[in-house]
Copies of this chain bind each other. A is one copy, B any other.
Amino acid sequence: MTEEELVSEENQDSSIYTETGAVRQDFLAAIAAAVEDTDEDWLKEQLSHLHSSELGDVIEALPPEQRIAVVAMMKADFDFAALTEVDEAIRLEIVDQLPNNQIALAVQELDSDDAVYILEDLEPEDQEEILGQLPFTERIRLRRSLDYPEETAGRRMATEFVAVPPFWTVGQTIDYMREDKELPETFSQIFVIDPGFRLLGAVDLDRILRTQRAEKIETVMHETRHAIPVEMDQEEAAQLFERYDLLSAAVVDENDRLVGVLTIDDVVDVIQEEAEEDIKALGGVGDEELSDTTVEIARSRFIWLLMNLGTAVLASLVIGLFDATIEQMVALAVLMPIVASMGGNAATQTMTVAVRALATRDIDIYNAARIIRRETLVGLLNGVMFAALIGLVAGFWFDNPSLGGVIAAAMVINMLAAALAGILIPLVLDKIGADPAIASGVFVTTVTDIVGFFAFLGLAAWWFDLL
């Protein structure tokens, strides 16, 4: 079949996506056929009009060997901005196989923030070689952005922006924009600067449009209270965008000079990434990506599992203290995982809420006391309820009311321990500057396992006199 036959007729002009949001299989099959036939024209015709994020989705959906083939065949028609939309592993895999001079040509077509995004992951030698092939001003701009630390506003900003002096009129500004061909591709505000490039303010475009031509820019500009220092962490910058519903914000250096602009689309990516990081950290996986290899993934998960093995062995040592007790009353071995498991789950609930509240800054030292008190109460309430439930179940199951009483008491103790560990451990980790999302899980379940086994077996040994 030819590529045209593979893409059924009614689909020719429609979306490349299926209803569930995946890239259409017939479209992917047609690309595979075109790669097979080295049909460069078909590839260029079909793929060059796609939005960069659509092209990124197509690249991700292709098998690895076809990805590089598509990029190579499309040559200058391949929109490198698509590479900012794919997994890091895929981006590196493609960029590593391309000659540096092709990359150098391609990044010149990109906005500076996209160019930095692609360059920052490269080996220093490759980076230098590519930068060396760029025109002077672009090289300086990109190198300056790359000099800022990772995950700062300086790394994420675009260095293309529109800036005018405060004494211009609205009319002059509009005329300037009609004539200047070097404007950024899109923008939503104009910055106002003094002769030394120091930021004085900004004007939203809608404000320009509803103002008479004779009006001076300085009378319509607003002082930008939300200028972002170039070294600010990207997560902090994202919080400013959210708090003040910004579409774009000026980025300034330590002398208050305008050096770039951060836009909401970059910030949306940051918000996604940060939420993603928290979810993964809580689930015990690092920064693995779907495109990582089996060995990479196995290795990155190994550390977390190893820590868990450590805590599991600790819990076993606690059980080992009571082996004589268990030998005399095997029902204890049957029931003990219930106490530990309920504690672990209750602690995970509390911890999840605490970690999120810390991430969104909804919790601080002032309301922490109230939240600790509330979590303790919740633990006590649910502890008492589940103690009653499991006490009855265990009492009837083993026809031993005392055993029901012992497991009920252990349940209350462990649910209280779970509440305290779930809230205090994230708070302490945050206080000492560690990421509560990453480390809380291990510590928290260690506490509930050890307290759970110790309380249940210890109470049983004491009550039934079985040590």
Known: A309-B389, A337-B337, A345-B304. A352 touches B279 (CB 8 A): yes
* A221 contacts across to B, CB distance below 8 A: none
Let me know if A282 is at the binding interface, CB within 8 A: yes
* A276 contacts across to B, CB distance below 8 A: 275, 356
Let me know if A105 is at the binding interface, CB within 8 A: no
A283 pairs with B282, CB closer than 8 A: yes
Could you say which of A31-39, A96-104, A134-142, A327-335 contacts chain B?
Answer: A327-335
- Would you list which residues of chain A between 275 and 317 have a CB under 8 Å from chain B? 275-276, 278-280, 282-285, 288, 290, 294-295, 297-298, 301-302, 304-305, 308-309, 311-313, 315-316
Chain B residue at minimal CB-CB distance from A285: B349
B298 pairs with A316, CB closer than 8 A: no
Let me know if A255 is at the binding interface, CB within 8 A: no
Contact of A352 among B280, B297, B331, B337 (CB under 8 A): B280
Could you say which of A18-26, A117-125, A145-153, A191-199 contacts chain B?
Answer: A18-26
Shortest Cβ gap from A59 to chain B (Å): 13
1/0 per residue A325-356: CB within 8 Å of B? 01100110111111011100110110111001
Shortest Cβ gap from A176 to chain B (Å): 9
B290 pairs with A357, CB closer than 8 A: yes
* A295 contacts across to B, CB distance below 8 A: 381
Contact of A284 among B301, B302, B320, B345 (CB under 8 A): B345
Please, how many residues of chain A have a CB less than 8 angstroms from a CB on the other chain? 112
Alpha-carbon distance A319/B275, docked complex (angstroms): 39
Chain B residue at minimal CB-CB distance from A246: B265
Chain B residue at minimal CB-CB distance from A362: B290
A25 pairs with B210, CB closer than 8 A: no
* A320 contacts across to B, CB distance below 8 A: 334
- Would you list which residues of chain A between 192 and 222 have a CB under 8 Å from chain B? 204-206, 208-212
Alpha-carbon distance A239/B352, docked complex (angstroms): 25
Let me know if A256 is at the binding interface, CB within 8 A: no
Shortest Cβ gap from A341 to chain B (Å): 4
Let me know if A428 is at the binding interface, CB within 8 A: no
Contact of A268 among B205, B242, B390 (CB under 8 A): B242
Let me know if A110 is at the binding interface, CB within 8 A: no
Alpha-carbon distance A22/B243, docked complex (angstroms): 13
Most buried by B among A212, A269, A288, A316: A316
Shortest Cβ gap from A239 to chain B (Å): 7
Alpha-carbon distance A351/B204, docked complex (angstroms): 45
Could you say which of A1-9, A72-80, A363-371, A458-466 contacts chain B?
Answer: A363-371
Let me know if A69 is at the binding interface, CB within 8 A: no
B353 pairs with A283, CB closer than 8 A: yes
Let me know if A247 is at the binding interface, CB within 8 A: yes
Shortest Cβ gap from A432 to chain B (Å): 14
Most buried by B among A211, A279, A348, A352: A279
* A282 contacts across to B, CB distance below 8 A: 279, 282-283, 352
Let me know if A51 is at the binding interface, CB within 8 A: yes
A313 pairs with B294, CB closer than 8 A: no
- Enumerate 21 A-B pairs (CB-CB under 8 Å) in ascending A order: A21-B361, A61-B367, A178-B211, A186-B204, A188-B247, A209-B209, A280-B352, A283-B352, A309-B342, A312-B341, A313-B338, A316-B334, A316-B335, A319-B334, A320-B334, A323-B331, A323-B334, A333-B333, A337-B337, A337-B453, A341-B445
Q: Given A177-B210, A271-B272, A309-B389, list of 6 further CB < 8 A pairs?
A: A61-B367, A272-B275, A285-B349, A297-B374, A302-B385, A315-B338
